[in-house]
Amino acid sequence: MAVKKKTSAAAPPAVLSPRALGRATLERQLLLRRAEMSAGDAVRHLVGLQAQNTKPPYYQLLARLEGFEPAELAGLMESREVVRIVTLRSTIHTHTADDALTLRPLVQEARDRELRIFRKGLVGVDLDRLRDVSRAYVEEEPRTPKEIRERLLTEWPDADPQALGTAARCLLPLVQVTPRGVWGRSGQVALTTAEHWLGRPSAQVPAPDATVLRYLAAFGPASVKDLQAWAGLTRMREVFDRLRPRLLTFRDENGVELFDLPDAPRPDEDTPAPPRFLPEFDNVLLGHADRTRVIPPRFKGRNGVGNQAYGSVLVDGFLAAVWRLETARGGGPTTVTVQGLRPLIRAERDAVTDEASALLAVMTEEAADGDGHDVRFAAFIDFDS
């Protein structure tokens, strides 16, 4: 009688703790150690920098790059090698020129969903004509959002002005032109199309596969929902299934399937993680549906009050404090005020102080001129009281 050989079942995917996931993501986000990388290469590797406000991209690179100076990113802005444009999650990001022309078409479905929210204010509006009128107007010269609304109202006086402006932003890849976003300068928002500003056409809607792989390289290991939350896209499961033969799979402690690149770094979860000062809305805090790899569950939503977000301080790889810059009236020294979300032990406070001092030395004029600066600690916020 023939004896059937026993076939061993495939080993179940390894389970990764939040700490292990955090260390992997911090390594890829250049936050475990500062990288000797150019600002342009970092913007590309990170698939853009969150840029709802003008200064955060500079602080994001300061936290990640060895020897970073704001003038480097400012120069890329002025030479049009990077631009400010609405892409991921319908928010403004600083992207390389190449990514601006490819990612924007990829996330168009999210712009279409946003446009549908304003459909009541667009009754009777021919959207194809609105696109053409808006393109001609902003390519004639960069225009402010107010100017765009007023121009469109001459065509559709009964439409809602906000809906008209939103429609132009959703239908066209509009970039904020310089000096907006240039360190040390100021300028109101003025818009033109990415194609006009960069002197070349946008790409056709690309297959999402390459972007998924780039996301994993910068944010992985990650789930399908993580990618969707980062990009503002839906129905991405089939893309991961198509890429599955090229990827490794893991599980988190809740049993959620995670995907990763085979050769991507996954440091030991006990790898030291030095303090890092991140600006408001840094993508390492927003790039996943499950953010427990960097935000302890009890601190969820604690790095902002209402619509006012503060900078975040990572200690041992996790959100542990918030921070803000304060300049004394009359041009006095700038102070970094740190407010813990938990008590910080002496060694942690010392390390945070050193990191804050380094931030001030690079990012404030009075520190560079030797006029002094200060680091202060406010009483920690006791959520358990």
Residues 54 and 162 in one domain: yes
Q: Is residue 287 part of a domain?
A: no
- Give the pLDDT of residue 215: 98
Q: Is 131 a domain residue?
A: yes
Closest CA to 250 of 13, 12, 19: 13
pLDDT at 2: 46
Phi, psi of 33 (to 5 degrees): -150, 145
Specify if 112 maps to a domain: yes
Q: Is the domain of 208 the same as that of 333?
A: no
The strand ranges marked E within the chain are 15-16, 49-50, 82-86, 92-96, 174-176, 191-193, 248-252, 257-260, 276-278, 304-305, 308-309, 311-315, 318-327, 334-340, 373-378
CA distance 286 to 51: 13
What confidence category does residue 304 fall into, taking pLDDT thresholds of 50, 70 and 90?
low
Strand-pairing partners, residue 321, are 313, 340
What is the predicted pLDDT for the residue at 306? 44
**Whether residue 322 sits in one domain with residue 255:** no
Q: What is the 3-state secondary structure (H, E, C) of 114-164?
A: HHHHCHHHHCCCCHHHHHHHHHHHHHHCCECHHHHHHHHHHHCCCCCHHHH
Confidence of residue 228 (pLDDT cuts 50, 70, 90): very high
Whether residue 203 is found in the same domain as residue 348: no
Which of 103-112, 156-165, 177-186, 328-337 is the least confident region? 328-337
Residues 83 and 213 in one domain: yes
Asked if residue 106 is part of any domain, the answer here is yes
**Same structural domain for residues 32 and 166?**
yes
308 phi and psi angles, rounded to 5 deg = -95, 115
Count of domains observed in the chain: 2
Average model confidence (pLDDT) for the chain?
91
Between 305 and 300, the higher pLDDT residue: 300
| Whether residues 217 and 347 fall in one domain | no
Q: Domain check: are 366 and 221 in the same one? A: no
> What is the spatial distance between Cα 36 and Cα 41, in angstroms, rounded to a whole number?
10
pLDDT at 127 exceeding the cut of 70 = yes
How much is the pTM? 0.92
- At 345, the pLDDT band (50, 70, 90 cuts) reads very high
- Whether 226 is in a domain gets the answer yes
> Can you tell me the mean pLDDT for 20-32?
98
Residue 282 lies in a domain: no
Q: pLDDT digit string (tens) for 164-181?
A: 999 999 999 999 999 999
Domain that holds residue 234: 11-267
pLDDT at 308 over 60: no
d(CA 149, CA 60): 33
Q: What is the pLDDT of residue 9?
A: 54
**Strand partners for 304:** 309
Distance CA 307, CA 283 (A): 17
Identify the domain boundary among 267, 286, 319: 267
Query: 175 has which bridge partners?
Result: 85, 192
Q: Are residues 32 and 85 in the same domain?
A: yes
- Does residue 174 share a domain with residue 251? yes
The answer to the question of residue 88 being in a domain is: yes
Domain-embedded: residue 335: yes
If asked whether residues 76 and 162 sit together in one domain, one would say yes
Three-state secondary-structure class, residue 337: strand
Measured over the CA atoms of residue 201, residue 209, residue 293 and residue 109, the dihedral's sign is positive
253 and 170 in one domain?
yes
Mean pLDDT of 112-136: 95
